[in-house]
Structure 1
Amino acid sequence: MSAGAGARIPVMVPWLGEEEARAAADAVLSGWVAQGPRVAEFERAFAERVGAGHGIAVSSCTTALHLALVALELGPGDEVVVPSLSFIATANAVRYVGARPVFADVEEATGNLTAATVDAVRTPRTKAVLAVHQGGVPADVHALRAACADWDLALVEDAACGIGATVGGKSVGHGALLAAWSFHPRKVITTGEGGMLTTDDAEWAERLRRLREHGMNVSAAQRHASGTPIVESYLEVGFNYRMTDIQAAIGLVQLGKLDAIVARRRELAARYTELLRAVPGVRPVGDPVHGEGNFQSYWVLLAGEFPVGRDRLLGVLAEAGVSARRGIMASHLEPAYAGHGAAQLPVTERISRDSLILPLFHTMTREQQDRVVSVLREQAGG
């Protein structure tokens, strides 16, 4: 699936191969394709990798975020501070439980919430903060956790893009109250679709496993493993948010590749950054002082003096055979949030308007990177 010389350069290609294909086939041939033993193994391996007590595999990161807010028992009348600079699922998850998302601004260097930007919009109705590790750049969760503890607020981490990134030398999600993860194909590791919740709280983990499976007191896997009939009961209204064993089988292989994937992405990102030093008006994303990113996305911010607007630049790149994308969306400007109301978010709107995501994938070649940068250099007048 990699693009050769002269061919269109994709923005992202998952690093999948024969090992994942065999793992998926083995799951199919086992006769157990729904949530089962491979899901349980993936949960254990993933939780161990990020330093969490428990992993709860689900159908997507969106459903993971929803379950996290259900676990916190949030509802109508409650407010949750979220960044507008995020995929719209972050804010939508708050609305799923009937609470109100309150949009906060972000810092320009990382695209993430800070304690100061949260403090600017919190109110007596604020019950939680949903912080995003945007594009794989880790948020300063130590500062956010300390602030939320002072304010008596729960902090949930949207780590959709975060696997393989670190804060203070430890995995994103380590020590999190609740963290939600994505395995979409655009993410660092993939199961096609799928997500995970991690937590250190055993009681929450037990309830979350019930909630993903219609609120049943005993899982389908436990019923099938029992030598005697079990009549299940439904303890509360739950959801159908399960992951399949086919997905988990692929996820286990991908998790084993994680170190190699992140190392390669950081290598490519470092080369991009070096090449872009010669392109005026382009500021690349980089590591924050408190951690290291995984470069799930390599995004650049155009300076005001850059001679071509972001949207026009995307068109020029496309004409040159380069598939780039607009930067991270500003959710508060989307039609779904028309009339919702938001504070002034100048940094969010600047990043969303003037940033773009450049191609970066495991099999990317130096020649492909040179082609991407040559278009930027030409448009910068270099």
Structure 2
Amino acid sequence: MKKYPVTKPYFTDEEIQLISDSLNSGWVAQGPKVAEFEKQTAKHEGISEGVATTSCTTALHLAMVAYGLKAGMDAIAPAFTFVATTNAIVMTGAVPVLCDIRQDTFNIDTENLRQIIENQYESKNGRLINKKTGNVLWGIVPVHEFGLCCDIYEVNKLATEYNLTVIEDAACALGAKINGIHQGAFGNASCISFHPRKSITTGEGGMVLTDDSNLAKRMRELRTHGSTVSADARDKGKGFLLPEFNEAGYNYRMTDVQGAMGLAQIKKLDTIIEEKRKGAVIYNELISDILPEFITPVEPEGYFHTYQSYVCMLNLEVLGIGSVEEGGKYRNTLLEKLEAIGIATRQGTHAVHMLGYYKNRFGYVSEDYVNAYACDHLSITLPLYVGISRDDQEDIVRNIRKTVDAM
């Protein structure tokens, strides 16, 4: 049987040419190609500034530090997300406070978000204070999961009501929109990823998008050890003197080799998203027709899903399975059998509260965030990438059908 990866990057000769140009120029550290990649990515999303980094994790950390998140503070994040979201909060010295999600969208449940703010915090001197720890509630880090924007308008409404900061974790969501407005253009800084599983890639890499020029300037300084002058600017002036360093920063710089790859990739973004959306329509049709054991992903009215990943849920009722735990065992066996016949799959992502560090530190149990726990156990990511054909997708779904029937 033909083998199907869960995803793969889409490259042409243009990446090779631009990377070669970068190598031949002798400028391979952060420089002019990174600057142009920042400009083109921000332009695509309708945002004024892009600040490239080594990963989305460092993008999140950079934005959080620039916005003043630190020890003695809390930041609320969804319980179903890749661990980088909460790890970035921990890296600042702050405490992540988890919020449950909606099973249909995989995104933060804004009703639960309000409950957490109102029940776990009290107002003192114009700030929200954690009733148990005394920490100040700094803000919210919502995630646009798998290429679908969360209900960011309601998140922003709550943030305005309670004077909180919002940083959007848009690692998966470059190109995602609500009513034509791109992620990152909702009034907050957003952080995107260029990992190979994302719609476009620079190998590793990330970026903060913002319309706040002062914030962008501060993040550019922080990502270069706290330098007040970039290497690119030094090259155009008196480069023999080192710049001033007024604070301790980080080395979060993207290389120009990566920037060159990114310049080729950003030109392909709309094509990649279009192809993935076509593939999602085909999966929706095939699964609805022959695989009722799977629940297909949703795209609410007015939302534009990029399908960075095509993630389904097992339908326990159709399967006749009585618990999430049993469903998880069934899911894992199914994925193992599919891998054996050449179909690569993944769970969607994980429930943070069930990961060792967070479980041990905070004493979480599965029932603390029931929807996140269910999605951790029952989600399945199917192969989707540029170049997958309808015949391929029919073959995949047909073999899943055979495998389910044999279990």
TM value normalised by structure 2: 0.90
> What's the secondary structure of 1:128's corresponding residue?
strand
How far apart, in 1, do the equivalents of 2:363 and 2:354 lie? 10
In the alignment, is residue 265 of structure 1 matched against residue 270 of structure 2? Answer: no
Shift of 1:120: 2.3
Shift of 1:347: 0.7
How far apart, in 1, do the equivalents of 2:46 and 2:390 lie? 35
Partner of 1:351: 375
> What's the secondary structure of 2:343's corresponding residue?
coil
Partner of 1:312: 333
Partner of 2:402: 378
CA offsets 1:173-211 (integer angstroms, 9 cap, x no match) = 113321101000000000111100011111111110000
Describe how 1:1-382 pairs up with structure 2 within 5 A: 6-122=1-117, 123=121, 124=129, 125-227=136-238, 229-278=240-289, 279-305=291-317, 306=319, 309-339=330-360, 340-342=362-364, 344-381=368-405
Which structure carries more helix by proportion? 2
Q: Contact 1:104 / 1:120 at 8 angstroms: preserved in 2?
A: no
CA offsets 1:15-74 (integer angstroms, 9 cap, x no match) = 012111111111100111111111111111111111112110111000000011101111
Shift of 1:229: 3.9
Shift of 1:338: 2.2
Partner of 1:3: none
Q: Contact 2:338 / 2:403 at 8 angstroms: preserved in 1?
A: no
How far apart, in 2, do the equivalents of 1:176 and 1:52 lie? 10
How far apart, in 2, do the equivalents of 1:328 and 1:30 lie? 40
CA offsets 1:88-126 (integer angstroms, 9 cap, x no match) = 000000000000001100011111113212112233332
Which structure 1 residue ranges, 5 or more long, are not aligned?
1-5
CA offsets 1:154-188 (integer angstroms, 9 cap, x no match) = 11100000012111211111133211010000000
CA distance 1:145–1:170, shift in 2 (3 Å): same
> What's the secondary structure of 1:132's corresponding residue?
coil
Q: Which amino acid aligns with 1:139?
A: C
Q: Which amino acid aligns with 1:298?
A: Y
Q: Which amino acid aligns with 1:323?
A: A
How far apart, in 2, do the equivalents of 1:121 and 1:162 lie? 26
Which structure 2 residue ranges, 5 or more long, are not aligned?
122-128, 130-135, 321-326
Q: Which is further off, 351-360 or 367-376?
A: 367-376
Q: Contact 2:143 / 2:170 at 8 angstroms: preserved in 1?
A: yes
How far apart, in 2, do the equivalents of 1:228 and 1:269 lie? 51
Q: Which is further off, 171-180 or 126-135?
A: 171-180
Q: Which is further off, 284-293 or 75-84?
A: 284-293
How far apart, in 1, do the equivalents of 2:372 and 2:109 lie? 13
Q: Contact 1:78 / 1:99 at 8 angstroms: preserved in 2?
A: yes
| Percent of paired sites with the same residue | 37
Paired residues in the alignment total: 377
How far apart, in 1, do the equivalents of 2:213 and 2:348 lie? 38
What root-mean-square deviation, in Å, do the aligned CA atoms of Structure 1 and Structure 2 show?
Answer: 1.5
TM value normalised by structure 1: 0.95
Q: Contact 2:334 / 2:404 at 8 angstroms: preserved in 1?
A: no
How far apart, in 2, do the equivalents of 1:167 and 1:148 lie? 19
Shift of 1:230: 3.4
